[in-house]
Structure 1
């Protein structure tokens, strides 16, 4: 979902904000349809977070909904934190003028409903 300037695994910041808003709206009217118990996170997300944010002190995880009101479209978005601040955009000195590349990562899949081999519900749940 990233653009050509964004690292693999990132999503546009506007998409991340929309998904987080969808999640907050969902929680206001939540019902037991939310069945996701875990998220599968590809290693490329972690590798690129460390590559592009070597001084990050933490990673903040946000839950979002790709589609408003659809609990089965749950997403987990990862945002590096540096100096106590979320680093939403990747800042490089060689970037072209224009929109800076996203630094919000999401290649995650919710489990359930999407659980690949070896990624099913576990952690003794």
Structure 2
């Protein structure tokens, strides 16, 4: 496997047509795994405010060892067909670690007691507002 440099940008600008195709593929996939769900309620995206992005950027600049963030998909409660359950994601800083190709998740603040239930110890961020709740319903990426 080629050596991966986690400090390099991962941005890839794609054509709008490709974005429409990929979001359509996602909606078709989710519809197949949850056929009884209303198309209007299927998870489509998450919204992250400018302020939250800037806070995350400041966190990244405060620590040279941090090379990026990783986003994990989440749902608030166990999946059930009758319950509306918003899909979102949480983000964690990623630290470059020798021998770990994709870095290491930073789950706790450096000076914390590492209490799994204490948000003051945590470096796990839920900035997101799920879509379809917070969507641009006129966007071609939103679909049906």
Rg larger in 1 or in 2?
2
With over 3 angstroms needed to count, the CA separation of the structure-2 counterparts of 1:106 and 1:123, relative to structure 1, is farther
Q: Distance in 2 between matches of 1:74 and 1:109?
A: 9
Aligned residues: 90
Q: 1:5-55: per-residue Cα shift (whole Å, max 9, x none)? A: xxxxxxxxxxxxxxxxxxxxxx9xx41336111100123432332333333
- 2:106 aligns with one of 73, 77, 87: 87
User: TM-score with structure 2 length normalisation?
Assistant: 0.51
SS at 2:72 equivalent: strand
Deviation at 1:107, TM superposition (A): 2.7
Shift of 1:108: 1.0
2:129 corresponds to: 109
What 5-or-longer segments of structure 1 have no aligned partner? 1-26
Q: Structure 2 unaligned segments of length 5 or more: list them.
A: 1-29, 97-102
State the shift of 1:76 in Å. 1.1
Q: Please, what is the CA RMSD of the aligned residues?
A: 2.6
Instruction: Give the 3 Å change call, closer, same or farther, for CA 53–89 of structure 1 in structure 2.
Output: farther
* Structure 1 residues 110 and 50: CA distance shift in structure 2, 3 A: same
Higher RCO, Cα 8 Å, sep 6+:
1
